[in-house]
Structure 1
Amino acid sequence: MIIYRSLFFIFLCLTQLFVCQSKTDFDALYNQSYNKLYQNPDECIVLTQSNLLNVQNTDNFLSLQQIMGQAYMMKGEFVQSIRLSL
């Protein structure tokens, strides 16, 4: 009985380890860009442009482009914001 409990505990620990590592680098970059959006739109644009160079997934690319569009809108550059949003 003790062996089964210890094996079950090890199994739970391993599954938690894999779940914790399931977040990708993109999630961290996206959150960093999003946090900069309202603090400093200029810095957000620079950060997002550098992140766009490394993105391979189309959905991720569009998400970052949306953040850039919002950052341009926060700066008051509405034409550039519309260009990125379309």
Structure 2
Amino acid sequence: MVKKRTRSEPTEAEISAFADQADDAHKITKTKVKEEKKVEIARTTISLPSDLLEKVEDMATANKRAKLEHRTVSAIVKDALEKYINS
């Protein structure tokens, strides 16, 4: 049995508001890219103890949910390495 669609179609006002939000988000992203230095990124592989990796993955998940910086394992490790090297 096919479940009937229960939600209504969006109104023109809702569509317009959503488009405005998307446009604003695009402008913000474009601005951030322009402000940042372009750096060539190289890919690497590291080995970590499983308990350490689990902690870093948990941090990334928590950061994603809280909409904070460093939302990926890569970003967390990169930040930690930069702090270690620059200290």
Q: Same fold (TM over 0.5)?
A: no
**Normalised by the size of structure 2, how large is the TM-score?**
0.30
**Normalised by the size of structure 1, how large is the TM-score?**
0.30
Greater relative CO (CA pairs within 8 A, separation 6+): 1
Higher helix residue share: 1
